[in-house]
Structure 1
Amino acid sequence: MDRMSGTDEPGKEAGRPRRRTPRTPRIAHIGRTRRTGLLALPLAASLALVPSTAAHADSIRDQQWALDAMHTQEAWRTTKGAGITVAVLDTGVDDEHPDLAGNVLPTKDLIGFGAKRGDRTWARHGTAMAGIIAGHGHGVNDADGVMGVAPEAKILPVRVILEDGDSARAKARSTRGNALAEGIRWAADQGADVINLSLGDDSESAHPEPSEDAAVQYALKKGSVVVASAGNGGKKGDHISYPAAYPGVIAVTAVDENGTRADFSTRRWYATVSAPGVDVVIADPDRKYYEGWGTSAAAAFVSGAAALVKAAHPGLTPDQVKRLLEDTARDAPTGGRDDARGFGFVDPAAAIEEGGELAPDDLRSASYGRKYFGSGPAQETEDDDATGWAAPAAGGLGAALLITAVVLWLGRPRPEEFSEPDDEFAV
């Protein structure tokens, strides 16, 4: 039964903590229009997301079904993420957005050119992800706009990619191909508690890049939890997606409000947990709100959940946080895990409760220096930061990352509130 039904399924792994009864809400049917932008080639993956008319704030908050599904109110009795920094490696974040004001630290721009504030192709995807993670709403009692999973956490923006519609993207591809690896290391050096990677290369030619893998292992050893989108290739061959497939990463698949796997969500062995990725309301620098879907959003929700766990239990290592989210996930598949939804639907409240019973581990346990996954044995290496990839020399994928590392996001308009398409949110 692939729904968040409130009952445990038979066949769960013995010894895992008891799943809590979910209180998953149902929202009114919004109405569906033809999906746009799901193209075969990542380079051309554009989304027709259209600006809304002025929407009442309560209608925005009411559409955030994910917050109730994730038991955030219960988690917030313990913490709302204060003291935690989540690095968002993306297209930039609008620090002046009313739902994020005061929660965004200065941006580290590892691209150095491209769209600027005020341009339509500036910081759209990154702002959307930041809102899911740490939006605090605005207005009286913060009742307007988008509320994030960890509304008191700080966002550390690291610009490592450009929006698909940015005219400078080709230049970024040829000159800043290693920005992702650099950004992961930089974020870890700044003490980021969580690193959100709502991006990835899930093309047919995707392969592991040693510099990125080493950067992930470096971040884990420094104590940063690393979260990534599992991929939007569920209808395109389920190709392996990187960085989600690197060892130690919390790879997130997408489900709808019923807990059913989204058809676009990639199914692979590295899936850790699932999270909301369908009918998700997002904030935008244009001060309008949009609804879309993708494993980008799912990863951002789990980054918010990880922030809450770290705030409640700051001594836990990345590996402990990962295991907690696995062990306390709800609606686990038969057998305890599968490639579609990992260990089940993320539940930060349950993870916070279980985390109180753990003692902090040595940070060495948070790295995966000799652990290989997939076919073939681990390759011995003198670099303890690497995981022994049988891959081309460093620089191959990195140089192409910005053109093939699609920000994993699909979108559609909400018929009641959106006008006809007049622009593209290209990611």
Structure 2
Amino acid sequence: MTPNRRVLAVLAAAAALTALAPAAANADAVRNADWALSALHAQKAWQTSEGAGVTVAVLDTGVDATHPDLTGQVLPGKDEIGFGAKRGDGVWARHGTGMAAIIAGHGHGPGDGSGVMGLAPRARILPVRVILEDKDPQRAKARTSRGDALPDGIRWAVDHGADVINLSLGDDSATAAPVASEDDAIRYALGKGVVVVASAGNGGEGADRSSYPAAYPGVISVAAVDRYGVHAPFSTSRWYDSVAAPGVDVVIADPDRSYYTGWGTSAASAYVSGAVALIRSAYPKLSPAQIKQVLQSTTRHRPKGGRSDDLGTGMIDPAAALAAARKLKPQPVVPVPVAYGQRYFAPGPTPAAKPADRAQVLGDGVAAGFAAAGAALVALAGLLWFRPWRDRAARA
């Protein structure tokens, strides 16, 4: 039985049991199915840090601040789109809520023993809506009229207290290319000491093209692995991959109070953002470059030779990273790591791209970017490919 089917069998058994048991039993099954925290040695990491005092900006489709796994964690945010689905609609804030819970969910119920526990359960979430869900009827309008949503959202997050920016989104279409305004915004964030994390892309079973913003200098680009630390076939393999994290059959919290298992480098990025929050909470003076380096130097399941395009330097180990970070002397903030072989833009001012200059497919298959001149929008491999696991007894 493949790992995917093994998880589905467990969930099916749990759902069958809850037909005869109280809702709490199913909630425990939700937590038990969340294998990623165990694989990341979260309990050991929490002995040092739970992410208190750190703000993680989630640039995504929005976040449901009323979700029981996130109550009290979500700060007032910004909507850079300004239209589209609203609270209560079936296509509102699904992806963003799932990512926020992976980062900073605290569970709910007695002892917070039910629902999703994030890797940094005491971190705060700053939601910035920069994309629409792939089934949002207004998505096409957003593609043509909100070309600056991502760079504007990055700058807004930096100016409103973000310590970490999670970008579970990307464009690896045939027309994908770096854009000066996005690169400038990321440099602005890094220059202010804000760590930027992005999903590597879901094009591994296709052309394995570079995905942006993951490929911009200074970004921690995250590939996906399964529970055994094995590279997920869908995860894009490229020179820019920094580290890997769980991204196969991970448990997702949904605004409708159901839970799902899903896959994607979106989830992997969220786990790494949670790990960064743990480090930033314990050692707030470390620079973005130092945090990236300490994550890369303490990974498990390291590939032969120490690095590969599939895994970066391997699967993150937050507890080991925290132990290594304790020994570091803080260094001045630098906007771009020294060891970087690519150069996108010539020195001097570069005009920002216009909204219609390129196709930008945002989200692990959330097509919410902006059409490139003469090119069709090409979606990625599906928004975290949700598998329904909706036993209604599990609703909070």
TM range (shorter): 0.7 to 0.9
Q: State the 1:101 CA deviation.
A: 0.2
CA–CA distance in structure 2, aligned partners of residues 379 and 91 of structure 1:
29
CA change 1:295–1:408 in 2 (3 A) is: farther
Q: State the 1:225 CA deviation.
A: 0.4
Correspondence 1:48-63 to 2 at 5 A: 56-63=26-33
Structure 2 residue aligned with 1:409 = 383
Match of 1:213 among 179, 183, 191: 183
Structure 2 residue aligned with 1:395 = 354
Name the structure, 1 or 2, with higher relative contact order (CA <8 Å, separation 6+): 1
Structure 1 residue aligned with 2:119 = 149
Q: State the 1:319 CA deviation.
A: 0.5
CA–CA distance in structure 2, aligned partners of residues 100 and 332 of structure 1:
33
CA–CA distance in structure 2, aligned partners of residues 30 and 206 of structure 1:
34
For the residue of structure 2 that corresponds to 1:271, the secondary structure is coil
1:382 aligns with 2:352: no
CA–CA distance in structure 2, aligned partners of residues 237 and 94 of structure 1:
34
CA change 1:27–1:202 in 2 (3 A) is: closer
CA–CA distance in structure 1, aligned partners of residues 207 and 380 of structure 2:
16
> What root-mean-square deviation, in Å, do the aligned CA atoms of Structure 1 and Structure 2 show?
2.3
Q: What's the CA shift string for 1:24-79, capped at 9, x where partnerless?
A: xx9992348xxxxxxxxxxxxxxxxxxx9967111001011110111110110011
Q: Is the 8 A contact 2:70 2:101 kept in 1?
A: yes
CA–CA distance in structure 2, aligned partners of residues 378 and 162 of structure 1:
28
Q: Is the 8 A contact 1:199 1:406 kept in 2?
A: no
Match of 2:84 among 93, 110, 114: 114
Q: Which moved more, 1:326-335 or 1:94-103?
A: 326-335
Q: What's the CA shift string for 1:238-261, capped at 9, x where partnerless?
A: 011000000000000000001110
**Unaligned stretches of 5+ residues in structure 2:** 10-17, 361-367, 370-376, 392-396
Structure 2 residue aligned with 1:42 = none
Q: What's the CA shift string for 1:305-346, capped at 9, x where partnerless?
A: 000010010000100000000011111101000000000110
For the residue of structure 2 that corresponds to 1:89, the secondary structure is strand
Q: State the 1:378 CA deviation.
A: 6.6
For the residue of structure 2 that corresponds to 1:263, the secondary structure is coil
Q: Is the 8 A contact 1:89 1:183 kept in 2?
A: yes
Match of 1:336 among 287, 301, 306: 306
Q: Is the 8 A contact 1:296 1:408 kept in 2?
A: no
For the residue of structure 2 that corresponds to 1:236, the secondary structure is coil
How high is the TM-score relative to the length of structure 2? 0.86
Structure 2 residue aligned with 1:64 = 34
Match of 1:367 among 329, 336, 341: 336
Correspondence 1:192-231 to 2 at 5 A: 192-231=162-201
Name the amino acid aligned to 1:213.
Answer: D
Structure 2 residue aligned with 1:271 = 241
CA change 1:378–1:215 in 2 (3 A) is: closer
Name the amino acid aligned to 1:280.
Answer: V
Q: State the 1:380 CA deviation.
A: 4.0
Q: Is the 8 A contact 2:176 2:359 kept in 1?
A: no
CA change 1:393–1:177 in 2 (3 A) is: closer
Name the amino acid aligned to 2:387.
Answer: P
How high is the TM-score relative to the length of structure 1? 0.80
Match of 1:80 among 50, 67, 81: 50
CA–CA distance in structure 2, aligned partners of residues 378 and 96 of structure 1:
41
Q: State the 1:413 CA deviation.
A: 2.5
Q: Is the 8 A contact 1:235 1:264 kept in 2?
A: yes
| Number of matched pairs | 362
Q: Is the 8 A contact 1:137 1:143 kept in 2?
A: yes
Name the amino acid aligned to 2:7.
Answer: I
CA change 1:56–1:158 in 2 (3 A) is: same
CA change 1:307–1:393 in 2 (3 A) is: closer
Match of 2:225 among 232, 255, 275: 255
Name the amino acid aligned to 1:361.
Answer: Q
Q: What's the CA shift string for 1:168-200, capped at 9, x where partnerless?
A: 111111111110010011111112110000000
Structure 2 residue aligned with 1:9 = none
CA–CA distance in structure 2, aligned partners of residues 270 and 361 of structure 1:
23
Q: Is the 8 A contact 1:176 1:399 kept in 2?
A: no
Q: Is the 8 A contact 2:144 2:355 kept in 1?
A: no
CA–CA distance in structure 2, aligned partners of residues 254 and 380 of structure 1:
33
CA change 1:92–1:214 in 2 (3 A) is: same
CA change 1:27–1:268 in 2 (3 A) is: closer
CA change 1:371–1:407 in 2 (3 A) is: farther
CA–CA distance in structure 1, aligned partners of residues 169 and 101 of structure 2:
16
Q: Is the 8 A contact 2:174 2:209 kept in 1?
A: yes
Q: Is the 8 A contact 2:175 2:359 kept in 1?
A: no
Structure 2 residue aligned with 1:355 = 325
Name the amino acid aligned to 2:73.
Answer: N
Match of 2:7 among 27, 30, 50: 30
Name the amino acid aligned to 2:347.
Answer: T
Q: State the 1:372 CA deviation.
A: 5.5
Q: State the 1:371 CA deviation.
A: 7.2
